[in-house]
Amino acid sequence: MKISMIPALAVGALSVGALSVGVLASAGPAAANPSDCINPDGSSCAVIDSDGATGSIPGGPSGTAGPDTVEGAIPGGPSGAVTPDAVSGCVPGVGCLDIPR
């Protein structure tokens, strides 16, 4: 019986994309986005502007959502991106996959 990893990788890529959007959506809007904004732990603040949003949890997941791209990653774990041209994702120890749209 042949098992294809394509569906699993596609689900992983989409899951990471959804996770990054969820993390960004739960961050709430920022009143201002000064370029020198630093959190108490030394990480940069989330940035939300007319071009999209980006954010991260120190040592944890990070993501970006913009007009043409949604991408996210978990350190040491899965990562993925969705663009108008492709859906891609990587799972450490399993491999990567790019699916043209």
Q: Is residue 58 part of a domain?
A: yes
Structural domain boundaries enclosing 90: 7-25+44-100
Q: Is residue 91 part of a domain?
A: yes
From first to last of its 101 residues, the chain has per-residue pLDDT tens of 444 445 544 445 444 444 444 444 444 444 445 556 677 777 767 888 888 999 888 788 999 999 999 999 999 999 999 999 999 999 999 999 999 98
User: In what helix (H) or strand (E) does residue 96 lie, and over which residues does it extend?
Assistant: strand 95-100
**What's the whole-model pTM score?**
0.58
Following DSSP, what letter does each residue of 24-92 receive, concatenated?
A: HHHT---S---TT-B-TTSPBPPEEETTEEEEE-TTS-EEEE-SS-EEEE-TTS-EEEE-SSEEEEEET
What are the φ/ψ torsions at residue 22 (nearest 5 degrees)? -65, -40
Q: Is residue 34 part of a domain?
A: no
**Token digits of residue 98:** 């790019």
Q: For the chain, how many structural domains are there in total?
A: 1
